[in-house]
Amino acid sequence: MPAVFRFALNDLPPEAESLRAEVREFLRKEFSGAAPVKRAKSWGGFDREFSRRVGARGWIGMTWPKTYGGHERSFLERYVVMEEMLAAGAPVSAHWVADRQSGPLLLRFGTEAQRQKILPSIVRGELAFAIGMSEPDSGSDLASIRTRATKTDGGYLVNGTKVWTSNAHLSDYAISLFRTQVVPDKKHEGLTQFLVDLRNTTGITIRPIIDLAGKHHFNEVNFTDAFVPDEARVGNEGDGWKQVTTELGFERSGPERYLSSIALIREVVREVSAHPDDRGTESIGRMVASLATLRQMSTSVAGMLQAGETVNLEAAAVKDVGTTFEQSIPELAHALLDLEPTLTSGSDLQQVLGYITQTAPSFSLRGGTREILRGIIARGLGLR
Amino acid sequence: MDPATVTKDLRSLLSDTVTRLFTDLATKELIEAAEKGTWPDKLWRALEEGGLGPLTLAPVRRAERLSLTDRGGGVTVDGRVTRVPWGRDAGHVVTVGDLDGRPTVALIARGAATIEEDRNLALEPRDTLIFREARAVAAAPADVAADAIRRLGAMARAAQMAGALESCLVQSVRYATERKQFGRPIGSFQAIQQNLAVLAGHVAAAGIAAESAFRAAERGDARFEIAVAKVRVGEAAGVGAGIAHQTHGAIGFTYEHSLHFATRRLWSWRAEFGSESAWARELGHAVAARGADALWSDLTAR
């Protein structure tokens, strides 16, 4: 068996470290005094004004070419901005999806016109994106999607339903995966992605799906003879599957895959610090050991991405180990402390615990379930 | 040549030598003979030719110390240290003690000790050495921490465990590919695949945690990274050995199969030079002392 993973230690370059100080100062001014429970929401938070200010600092589309408004900085500098934003609990979701996924997709596979029209606005923090992949009958088995885009004059007529579409009700565009052709017994073929204008397309209905905590992030997006013009097609017909798998590689290795519980980690450390007994210190010691190791794994992948290497397998490993860690934190807090998780009453720690406890199940679902990721790793091991 | 280049060259030379020696000479037969008490003379002679003499470290246990006394013309050593790796076979013992309030490194001939033999689960010698006014071969004050032996030992064990875990993964994947049940390789079943993916994740985490400790030690103070490595690799050892055995079924539980050479070492090594819980408490105390708001900045500064 060949070596399965290549996790080489990576040092962040000096320019990334000086950037870190700038980002910290910016975040300190933005959020000094923000309640820990607000910070816990981080990439659940959607704040267009904040995203514009981040764009004005040059921290969106950092690695993209200047032609499209980008800043031509390194992937590692972008990494530092991301991890600082997440560690501080900044509400990044109004620019985050576009910066991480949709922008890079258009840069790689989009038409010149799409790039010129869309990318500069993303960079300024003015365009929010949603992702239209899952459907009622297609979750982990993404290639089984049925929403049809049927060729018509000057474009396509779309019919079908997408679900779990985060922030569709707040976003400007949704990169959506449709079936343009039915190829018998070849479900990965005939899939095509489109840049769907959520605000100016007739035939689209967006309905909320309320999560278990009573919050509205998800949506069901219904397409009924919705007309999507040819210019909105990303790449060629049938290229959708290849594009989607590339995108998920970007999505899986970032600091967001192990930092979702950082606000709770911080509050647990605060609690233990007040009375550092053996049991408490052992618990936070184990927690920090995992956190530090995951950060090494994640920065290692960032280094490989910077070097232009393929990281699908390593990214899957970071996400699997990372989400398992994130989910262990509320469990650890419960085992260690005699505290009830709360909604709005009680201490900061109780409220953060309440928020993370109810969010944690999603950590190993979003962006590819734990089982799918482990399947990818098993394939890398040569077992499939 | 600058010192960094020398170190780098030396390291790659050492690494090549060690890899060659262990691949060529540390056969299953040799390991089995060693477990029955036969000193692997040929391997050690080869190692010594490569410049690595049989040298051991003490103390292993946190509560134990060897005391040093300056007797004018020389330093003498007193005390009882347990679980000393290969104590009976080593030529010399290295310790760090306190002499006039300064950390002092002392080298003592093993022959100066009374020895009570014992072994760990992997049947590696772990002996008790008792020194009574034993004269040190050499002793000198050094710029090292009082617990330097325990730290270096923990760092070495973390790296060894990361390697043993890799061996568990390689053996498990090979076995899952070869062993057939219900008419197909067991590795084609999702239950096995998912378990081995978990093992692979632990192998990856253990490898980078151990490597990170060595990198930090090369750069200076590695206290944080060594604690992180001993905790994280130790946790990986527990889970990893379990999955490897589960995958192998009954055959992996036999002495005939080679899996236990890795797993018995993991079970012993995770407890040597401080267990996960001991290192986690130490790490946790340091984190608590710095406070919650320093956690992220401290972490990113490493």
Q: Are residues B137 and B152 in the same domain?
A: no
Contact A269/B287, CB-based, under 8 Å?
yes
Could you give the ipTM of this predicted complex?
Answer: 0.94
Residue that finishes a domain, picked among A209, A243, A277: A243
Mean pLDDT for the stretch of residues A289-315: 91
How does strand B126-135 pair with strand B75-85?
Answer: antiparallel
Residues A109 and A139 in one domain: no
List B residues 148-177 in contact with A (Cβ-Cβ < 8 A). Answer: 169-170, 173-174, 176-177
Tell whether B199 is within 8 A of chain A (Cβ).
no
User: Which range is least confidently modeled, A94-98, A318-322, A367-371, B7-11?
Assistant: B7-11
User: What domain count does chain A have?
Assistant: 3
Measure in Å the smallest separation between the Cα of B115 and chain A Cα atoms: 34
Mutation site for B-interface testing, chosen from A31, A258, A288 by largest number of B Cβ within 10 Å: A288
CB pairs under 8 A between A and B: 177
Are residues B297 and B169 both part of a single domain? yes
Give the integer Cα–Cα distance in Å for B150 and B57: 9
Do A316 and A266 share a domain, yes or no? yes
Residue numbers in A near B200 (CB within 8 A): 4-5, 317, 377, 380-381
Contact (Cβ atoms closer than 8 angstroms) between residue B196 and residue A383: yes
| pLDDT above 70 (res B157) | yes
Residues A48 and A141 in one domain: no
Q: Model confidence over A268-297: pLDDT tens digits?
A: 999 999 999 999 999 999 999 999 999 999
Task: Please tell me whether residues B238 and B274 are part of one structural domain.
Answer: yes
**Mean of pLDDT values over B241-270:** 98
Q: Are B114 and B155 part of one and the same domain?
A: no
CATH number, domain containing residue B171: 1.20.140.10
Structural domain that includes position A51: 14-127
pLDDT at A332 over 60: yes
What does the pLDDT average to over B205-223?
Answer: 95
CATH code of the domain containing B129: 2.40.110.10
With CB atoms and an 8 Å threshold, state whether B302 touches A374. Answer: no
Rg from Cα positions in chain B? 21
Which of A112, A127, A142 is the endpoint of a domain?
Answer: A127
Residue B288: which of A5, A20, A284 has the nearest Cβ?
A: A284
Tokens of A357: 């406890």
Q: Sorting pLDDT into bands at 50, 70 and 90, what band is B178?
A: very high
User: Do residues A282 and A368 both lie within one domain?
Assistant: yes
- What separation in angstroms does the CA of A324 have from each of A175, A179, A286, A372? 29, 34, 14, 14
**Are both B290 and B160 inside the same structural domain?**
yes
pLDDT surpassing 90 at residue A129: yes
Asked if residue A328 and residue A315 are part of one domain, the reply reads yes
Asked if A293's CB is within 8 angstroms of B228's CB, the reply is yes
Is A5 within the bounds of a domain? no
Confidence tier at B44 by pLDDT (50, 70, 90): confident
CATH number for the domain spanning A355: value is 1.20.140.10
CA distance A4 to chain B (A): 8
Indicate the residue among B145, B177, B204 that finishes a domain. B145
C-alpha to C-alpha distance for B261 and B248, rounded to whole angstroms: 14
Q: Domain for residue A84, yes or no?
A: yes
Within a domain: A3: no
Number of domains in chain B: 3
Choose between A199 and B25: higher pLDDT: A199
Query: Within this chain, do residues A148 and A103 fall inside the same structural domain, yes or no?
Result: no
Tell me: do B11 and B72 sit in the same domain.
no
pLDDT at A1: 42
Q: Quick one: B162 and B125 in the same domain?
A: no
Is B206 found in the same domain as B187?
A: yes
Are B215 and B279 in the same domain?
yes
Please give the Cα distance from B174 to A382 (Å, whole number).
9
- The string of pLDDT tens digits covering residues A223-267 is 999 999 999 999 999 999 999 988 776 667 688 889 999 999 999
- The residue among A211 and B19 whose pLDDT is bigger is A211
Interface test with B, best of A17, A79, A83, A293 (most B CBs within 10 A): A293
Q: Which domain range does residue B140 map to?
A: 55-145
The pLDDT value recorded for residue B203 is 97
Shortest CA distance to A243 belongs to which of A367, A90, A106, A122?
A106
Q: Looking at the domain assignment, is residue A4 inside a domain?
A: no
Of A16-20, B57-61, B137-141, which range is least confident? B137-141
Is residue A148 predicted with pLDDT exceeding 50?
A: yes
For residues B80-90, give the mean pLDDT: 95
Query: Is it the case that residue B53 has pLDDT exceeding 90?
Result: no
CATH of the domain at A24: 1.10.540.10
pLDDT average, residue stretch A19-46: 92
Note whether B191 and B287 are same-domain residues.
yes
Does some domain include residue A140? yes
Nearest of A220, A13, A246, A219 to residue A109 by alpha carbon: A246
Joined together, the tokens standing for residue B262 give 């890795």
Measure CB to CB from residue B284 to each of A284, A294, A297 and give the nearest one.
A284
Q: Which of B116, B145, B174 is the last residue of a domain?
A: B145
Alpha-carbon gap, residue B263 to B261, rounded angstroms: 6
Residue A7 belongs to some domain of the structure: no
Higher per-residue pLDDT: B240 or B11: B240
Whether A154 maps to a domain, the answer reads: yes
- Note whether B77 and B138 are same-domain residues: yes
Contact between chains at B296 and A262 (C-beta distance less than 8 A): yes
Neighbours of A2 (CB within 10 A): 6
Higher pLDDT residue, B32 or B191? B191
The predicted-structure confidence for B102-151, as pLDDT tens digits, reads as follows 999 999 998 999 999 999 999 999 999 999 999 999 999 888 888 999 99
Residues 233-252 of A with CB under 8 A from B: none
Q: Which of A213, A243, A273 is the last residue of a domain?
A: A243
Radius of gyration of chain A (CA): 21
What's the rounded Cα separation, in Å, for the pair A290 and A294? 6
What's the farthest any 2 CA atoms get from each other in chain B? 77
Give yes or no for a contact between A215 and A355, defined as CB atoms under 8 angstroms apart: no
- pLDDT of res. B13: 64
List, in sequence order, every residue forming a beta bridge with B107; answer none if it has no partner: B94, B138
- Strands (E) located in chain A: 129-132, 148-152, 155-162, 173-179, 191-197, 204-210, 216-229, 233-234
Q: Distance between CA atoms of B108 and B139, rounded to whole angstroms?
A: 9
Q: Higher-confidence residue: B5 or B204?
A: B204
Best mutation site among B198, B231, B270, B276 for testing chain A: the one with the most A CBs within 10 Å? B231
- What rounded mean pLDDT belongs to chain B? 91
pLDDT, tens digit, 9 for 90 and up, residues B269-297: 999 999 999 999 999 999 999 999 999 99
- Which of A9, A321, A377 is closest, CB to CB, to B205? A321
B176 and B195: one domain? Answer: yes
Query: Is A8 a member of any domain?
Result: no
Q: Are both A154 and A267 inside the same structural domain?
A: no
Q: What is the mean pLDDT of residues A6-33?
A: 93
Structure confidence at residue B25 (pLDDT): 76
Tell me what pLDDT residue A19 has: 97
